[in-house]
Amino acid sequence: MESSAWHLSLKLSDKPKEVFQFPDTEPGDVRPGGYQVSTLKQLISAQLSDALPDPELIDFVHCGCVLKDDLTLDSYGIKSGSTLHIIKKTWPEPEVEPGVMFTQHL
């Protein structure tokens, strides 16, 4: 029988590796391998809210592949104990159209 203590190692570029422990599952719950990447982003963002406040601003990389939000951990072959690298993104800057620059005359 598979252990319910599912965990992943998470590596942020500027921090030491951390272990993310999945919540215990009850019979009938989705096993962690069946979680979509988007669900994992929300769980990790909630646990590491100081470092990763917004799940939309992170990507996971596993074995050189950027994980897509709508696929499951199983679809990438991710098992308990696997390491995911976390890439932090920033909101894009709004485009500023060139225009007239106003100057103040004294």
Residues 97 and 51: their CA atoms lie apart, in Å, by 33
pLDDT-derived band at 101 (thresholds 50, 70, 90) equals: low
Residue 39: strand, helix, or coil = helix
Q: Is residue 3 over pLDDT 50?
A: no
The percent of residues above 70 in pLDDT, for the chain, comes to 82
Tens of pLDDT, residue by residue over 33-85, are 999 999 999 988 888 777 777 888 899 999 999 999 999 999 999 999 999 99
94: Cβ contacts below 8 Å, ≥ 6 apart: none
Domains of the chain, start order: 7-21+29-88 (3.10.20.90)
CB 76 within 8 A of CB 62: yes
pTM score of the predicted model: 0.75
Residue 75's pLDDT is what?
96
Decide if pLDDT at 2 tops 50: no
